[in-house]
Amino acid sequence: RFLRDSRDYIFNALSGSSFSYTIGLSVGGIRFHRHITDASFYYPLFWKFGLMFRTRFGLINPLRSYDTIPIYERFYAGGTGEDGIRGYPDRTIGVKEGGYAIGGRALSIFSLEYKLRLSHQVSFITFFDAGNAWESFTKFNLSDLKRGAGIGVRLEIPMLGLLGFDFGRGFDYEKIDVNGKPVRYGQWQPHFQIGRTF
């Protein structure tokens, strides 16, 4: 893993940037190679406000054409965490089979946050997330992103760590109408998290 980090405060940054590239290789009975790049940029604005932009890309492929990628090794987007898209339940975005998520082999996530950091321990945010997981890199399509936006708060509690609460609205839920056509609609989703997401 390669990591470079210049953030002013790792748990609640307002300036600096971080970049990581991680490669994984499995050569046992399950053979694949995984690549993940993650970059976050923090820009202080005025007073105690700042802007954060994050991108995350993932790709996992078999070593040989006839190798398969197990469902538990694939990418699942949605909710919070490293592959989070707020406004949707955890691990629900991406390739589906029979109405159930089975994970993707290609992942793309974009996040934008506008933050008011009152102190290192307390901050309020508004956010916009977009992303998806696809069956393969050839199916990668930036016009097919699930979008979510909302507000949140971050609290650093001594002896406990960073606690977060986000309330996001996902704009791209889908259901089938009476004519058998997919219809998109919005829905609110609360998110609790412990630890730093970005």
The model's pTM is 0.90
* Rounded Cα gap, residues 95 and 102, in angstroms: 6
- Count the alpha carbons within 13 Å of 82 in the hemisphere toward its beta carbon: 12
Torsions phi, psi for 189 (to 5 deg): -145, 125
What distance lies between CA 195 and its chain's CA centroid?
14
Joined together, the tokens standing for residue 113 give 């946050």
Per-residue pLDDT, 48:
94
Question: Which DSSP category does 69 fall into?
Answer: -
DSSP letter at 72?
Answer: G
Q: Which residues contact 97 (CB under 8 A, 6 or more apart)?
A: none
**Phi and psi (nearest 5°) for 104?**
-125, 165
Query: Digits of tens for pLDDT over the chain (198 positions)?
Result: 899 999 998 888 999 999 999 999 988 888 999 999 999 999 999 999 999 999 999 999 998 888 888 899 999 999 998 999 999 999 999 898 887 889 999 999 999 999 999 998 999 999 999 999 999 888 888 889 999 999 999 998 887 788 999 999 999 998 888 888 888 999 999 999 887 665
161-176: strand order across its sheet: 2-5, 16-27, 31-44, 49-62, 106-117, 122-134, 146-157, 161-176, 182-194
* Whole-angstrom distance, CA of residue 4 vs CA of residue 96: 35
Strand partners, 160: none
**Amino acid residing at 102:** I
